[in-house]
Chains A and B, each alone.
Chain A
């Protein structure tokens, strides 16, 4: 699909970059004139996807995370978050509510929240090679001057 604008960011899997990634996503999305609630949803979904790379993809090392945001025709925001970490054996199981390999510090609700805040959520993963999370959210088109 034709994209009207895009950004690509690459950053290290440090937890201090979680806030950076969601703020950058919100700043890019601002050109679509989203509501506060839509901005909150975008920040939350990005935070979930990026945190998963930091916690699960690279549990014992630092690695590369790539985030791409695109604006598609009709005011659709597309977000992709990619890592080259350990990958997911069984994606269907990983996406179930409460499923976690992360112990007490995780809730297993990350994918559930991404799915409920986004219109589309697709996860592709190859064990040992990495994971890509692709999300889309249509933003309510408000009348512009």
Chain B
């Protein structure tokens, strides 16, 4: 998987693309931690529009990022999830902990 980032006005947007499974999760989390340390954002949006696959390892990653942002006094949310990640979000109920925003 790949992660691209954009930072503006205190908001870090992370564009996750490809497949997020257990094999990819540790590297992805390391990259995200580095980006958060670098920008110290107020908000962090996880854009999942380009994520073709995610399993419960992705759910653990989302929870970790949300916790990290709370420690920094900020917030994290999921943005524009593709269909398969959306089904995993629904099945896991993670949207009760981390909000999902759909923007066109």
Contacts and interface: CB of A to CB of B under 8 A. Distances in A.
Contact of B64 (A41, A104, A112): A104
Contacts of B19: 19
A106 B53 CA distance: 17
Interface string A37-70: 1001101100110010011000000000000000
Given A104-B60, A105-B57, A51 B21 contact: yes
Contacts of B88: 44, 113
A44 B59 contact: no
Contacts of B70: none
Interface in A97-140: 97, 104-107, 109-110, 112-113, 116-117
A33 interface: no
A110 B64 contact: no
Interface string B34-66: 000000000000000000010111011001100
Contacts of B57: 51, 105-107
Contact of B87 (A15, A40, A104, A107): A40
Contact of A36 (B23, B56, B83): B83
Interface size class of B (residues with CB under 8 A): 20 to 34
B91 A112 contact: yes
B89 to A, nearest CB: 10
Q: What are the 5 A-B residue pairs with the smallest beta carbon separation, nearest first? A: A15-B23, A107-B60, A40-B84, A107-B59, A116-B91
14 contacts: A15-B23, A16-B23, A40-B83, A41-B87, A44-B55, A44-B87, A44-B88, A51-B21, A51-B55, A51-B57, A105-B25, A107-B59, A113-B91, A113-B92
Interface of B: 19, 21-23, 25-26, 53, 55-57, 59-60, 63-64, 83-84, 87-88, 91-94
